[in-house]
Chains A and B, each alone.
Chain A
Amino acid sequence: EIVLTQSPGTLSLSPGERATLSCRASQSVSSSYLAWYQQQKPGQAPRLLIYGASSRATGIPDRFSGSGSGTDFTLTISRLEPEDFAVYYCQQYGSSPYTFGQGTKLEIK
């Protein structure tokens, strides 16, 4: 099983600042099958931001970008908007079980 470790656990930033979220895998993620999700509130359906490590999903603003390969992946939000403060999860879907990271909470400083 591939374990995904996200860091930091909590990130405190101000609107307009740049956010960098990390997702590290315990072994190489097959074909960069790595996705990032945003969840505004627990119990609310997550929203797909990035798939294939770097492709933006439909309708996602270009301030969101994904990068990385192998075992190290990054989600960058170039200029934080008020609606970006949420919890972010990475997920690998290259090999079963399709594991999630534990999440990074992005909060307003």
Chain B
Amino acid sequence: EVQLVESGGGLVKPGGSLRLSCAASGFSFSNAWMSWVRQAPGKGLEWVGRIKSKTDGGTTDYAAPVKGRFTISRDDSKNTLYLQMNSLKTEDTAVYYCMSSGYWGQGSLVTVSS
């Protein structure tokens, strides 16, 4: 059974940093392209970024609102995906999901507020 479990969310002040993790199991993580998607309160889904598998180059792409502030990485030895979020803004407040090939985690809430 495919499982994606996010962790690391919480309350952070504007300008602060936070790192989310996504533990994967039930599929070949090292071969998977992984994405982060977020949903602000009362809003729709917003794609945040993606990392390719290392065999496909391991490159990353980001949505314009987070480019230069967020970094996606992966540790294939731990079957874990990361989202490092720096210079956080109030508009980054959202539930953050990791996903791959249509499978989604349960989400992790990030609240950016003073």
Which of A35, A45, A91 has the most CB atoms of chain B within a 10 A radius of its CB?
A45
Query: How many residue pairs between the two chains, A and B, have CB atoms under 8 Å in the bound complex?
Result: 48
Q: How many angstroms between the C-alpha atoms of A53 and B79 in the bound complex? A: 29
Q: Is B46's CB under 8 angstroms from A100's CB?
A: yes
Q: Beyond A37-B45, A102-B44, is A48–B102 a contact (Cβ under 8 Å)?
A: yes
- Chain A, interface SS category: loop
A51, B47: Cβ atoms under 8 Å?
no
With contacts A96-B61, A97-B61 taken as known, whether A45 is within 8 angstroms of B106 at the C-beta atoms is yes
Smallest CB gap from A89: residue in B:
B45
Q: Is the CB of A45 within 8 A of B107?
A: yes
Known contacts: A45-B105, A48-B102, A51-B102. The answer to whether A103 contacts B44 by CB under 8 A is yes
For the complex, is A99 an interface residue (Cβ under 8 Å from B)?
yes
The bracket for how many chain B residues form the interface is: 20 to 34
Residues of A within 8 A of B46 (CB): 100
Chain B: interface secondary structure?
strand
Residue of A nearest to B63 (CB): A97
Interface range on chain A (Cβ under 8 Å from partner): 20 to 34
- Provide the residues of chain B in CB contact with A46, threshold 8 Å: 45, 97, 104
Residues 72-108 of chain A, each 1 if its beta carbon lies under 8 Å from chain B, else 0: 0000000000000001010100001111111100000
Q: List the one stretch of B15-23, B35-43, B81-89 in contact with chain A.
A: B35-43
Q: Is there an interface contact between B44 and A100, defined as CB atoms closer than 8 Å?
A: yes
Q: Which of chain B's residues has its CB closest to A101's CB?
A: B44
The 30 listed contacts between A and B (C-beta, < 8 Å) are A1-B64, A35-B102, A37-B45, A42-B39, A42-B42, A43-B39, A43-B107, A45-B105, A45-B106, A45-B107, A46-B97, A46-B104, A48-B102, A48-B103, A57-B102, A87-B44, A89-B44, A89-B45, A91-B45, A96-B61, A97-B47, A97-B62, A97-B64, A98-B50, A99-B47, A100-B37, A100-B46, A101-B44, A102-B44, A103-B45
Residues of A within 8 A of B (CB): 1, 35, 37, 39, 42-43, 45-48, 51, 57, 87, 89, 91, 96-103
